[in-house]
Amino acid sequence: MTHDEALLQFLLRMGDNTLILGHRVSEWCGHAPVLEEDIALANTALDLIGQTQLWLGLAADVQGDGKTADDMAFLRDAWDFRNVLLVEMPNGDFGQTLMRQFLFDAWHSIMLGRLITSSDPRVAEIAEKASKEVAYHLERSGDTVVGLADGTEESHARMQAALDYLYPYVGEMFLSDATDAEMVAAGIAPDPAGLRDEYDALVGRIVDTATLTLPDGRFTHKGGRDGRMHTEHLGHLLTQMQWLQRAYPGASW
Amino acid sequence: MAQVSTEQVWDWLDDVPDPEIPVISLVDLGIIRDVRWEEDTLVVSVTPTYSGCPATSVINLDIETALRGHGIDKLELRRQLSPAWTTDWLSQKGRKKLEDYGIAPPQPAGGPAKCPNCGSKNLQKVSQFGSTPCKAHWRCQDCLEPFDYFKCI
Ligand SMILES: [Zn+2]
């Protein structure tokens, strides 16, 4: 793998995570339990899609064949996506959506914090911008997880079920492969495995405050960030997200 | 036409309203980072407030429309990401205008200092997000008015 090939994979991983989660969160638009939550979810999705434009725009530049961030988002098929499985999981109920958001935000904030000192200034400036937005996401998703879990018997049970369901997807964010080794060697990005202790401390603190119980096992589903095998959910998501470009190729306005 | 001074261009840009909060200008908002001539081309560097802010493309269009209206032919708009935009760059004039308009200006403490309607400090956060990416939603417990708070980032 050449350096640019590894850099492209790394950028796709960052951009596909924000794209797929941004799309998932946007599915709530007009459906959230109360207006304030609807607006909050839509704003979170907007930040994530904005970050996607930066990451995938840079990925397209590195690929160097004249494609744009839009091409990357709308003209690739499921096997080309490099997002972790966690972000493509269905929304479920409101609690499950916020639990997924929290589990991702915690990783995202730690990762972006490291990328601010990336040796590649293009990566560093995107991370600097995104980390401000993500700090806000994390504050909100963490507070909401605590509020719901330490709420009624019903809301507590739903948040515990969401954590039990989603936790086996957490480990994939900390796997390392040849792409990561190349990024570490070039000083562009940290080894994901090295972020786990900080993540466990952060998540553990919120989970305790929320009166939830972290599942015991460290088993993890994987296959998203290396594109080996996504869940069946990604293809369904893409049929919605990419519908317009598939029905009307090249449409723009 | 002779090259106008960059000070003149800054003045022109200070007349271009923010499309979402039209009481303040783009210069008040702190998103115009640089104005310079590169040979016969005027280069304006603009930084986004939030990476997904839908107003960004409208802002670029408004800058271009305004400067072309003042006779600038050769114009280039550059996106500048770093240093990332911060509400510290809001002008004092802009903060005052926000408050007069009913939007509480950002505070380092992370919440509004007082109700922009009655001045009360008895306030409650309704939601961390508001009508645009840059605002949160608060309510005054005394006059009971809901209001926008310009988030501090
Ligand atoms: Zn009041």
Of all residues in chain B, what percent carry a pLDDT higher than 90? 84
Identify which has the larger pLDDT, A114 or B108: A114
* Full residue range of the structural domain in which residue A169 is found: 3-247
CA of B141 to the centre of ligand 1 (A): 7
Residues of B in contact with A129 (CB under 8 A): 48, 51, 81-82, 84-85
Mean pLDDT score, B86-94: 95
Residue A157 scores a pLDDT above 80: yes
pLDDT confidence band for B133 (50 / 70 / 90): confident
Query: How confident is the model at residue A27, as a pLDDT?
Result: 97
Domains and CATH numbers, chain B: 6-87 (3.30.300.130), 102-150 (no CATH)
Q: Which of residues 24-83 of B touch A (CB under 8 A)?
A: 48, 50-54, 81-83
Helix axes B55-69, B6-13, angle to 10 degrees: 130
For residue A221, being part of any structural domain is answered with yes
Nearest CA in chain A to B81: A125
pTM of structure: 0.94
Q: In angstroms, what is the span from residue B117 Cα to ligand 1's centroid?
A: 5
Answer yes or no: are the C-beta atoms of A91 and A97 closer than 8 Å. yes
Provide DSSP, chain B. -PPPPHHHHHHHHTTSBPSSSTTSBHHHHT-EEEEEEETTEEEEEE--SSTT-THHHHHHHHHHHHHHHTT--SEEEEE--SSPP-GGGS-HHHHHHHHHHTEEPP-TTSS-SS-TTT----EEEEES--SSTTEEEEEETTT--EEEEE---
ipTM value: 0.90
State the average pLDDT over residues B91-105. Answer: 96
The answer to whether residue A252 is domain-embedded is no
Is A132 part of a structural domain of the chain? yes
Of A202, A55, A233, nearest to B51 (Cα)? A55
Q: What would the pLDDT profile of A159-197 be if each residue is shown by its tens digit?
A: 999 999 999 999 999 999 999 999 999 999 999 999 999
Hey, are the CB atoms on B51 and A124 less than 8 Å from each other?
A: no
Task: Give a yes or no: residue A133 inside a domain.
Answer: yes
A206-248 residue pLDDT tens: 999 999 999 998 899 999 999 999 999 999 999 999 999 999 9
Give Cβ neighbours of residue A204 (< 8 Å, ≥ 6 apart): A214
- Domain membership of residue A253 (yes or no) is no
- Which residues of B fall within a CB distance of 8 Å from A146? none
Ligand 1 centroid, distance to B137 Cα (angstroms)? 14
Higher pLDDT, A199 or B54: A199
Instruction: List, as one string, the DSSP characters of A105-163.
Output: HHHHHHHHHHHTT-SSHHHHHHHHHHHHHHHHHHHHHHHHHHHHHTS-HHHHHHHHHHH
* Mean pLDDT value across residues B123-148: 92
Average pLDDT along chain B: 94
The rounded mean pLDDT for chain A is 96
Check whether A203 has a pLDDT greater than 70: yes
Q: How many domains in chain A?
A: 1
Q: Looking at residue A110, which CATH number applies to its domain?
A: 1.20.1260.10
In a domain, A13, yes or no: yes
Give the nearest chain B residue to A18 (CA atoms): B52
pLDDT at B72: 96
Q: Would you place residue B2 in the very low, low, confident or very high pLDDT band (cuts 50, 70, 90)?
A: confident
Terminal Cα distance for chain A, rounded: 38
pLDDT reported for residue B131: 81
Q: Look at residue A1 and tell me whether its pLDDT is greater than 60.
A: yes
Give the per-residue pLDDT at B150.
94
Residue A33: its pLDDT value, please?
87
Please answer yes or no on whether B48 and A50 come within 8 Å at the CB atom: yes
On whether residue A130 sits in a domain, the answer given is yes
For residue A44, report the distance from its CA to the centre of ligand 1, in Å. Answer: 28
Residue A187 lies in a domain: yes
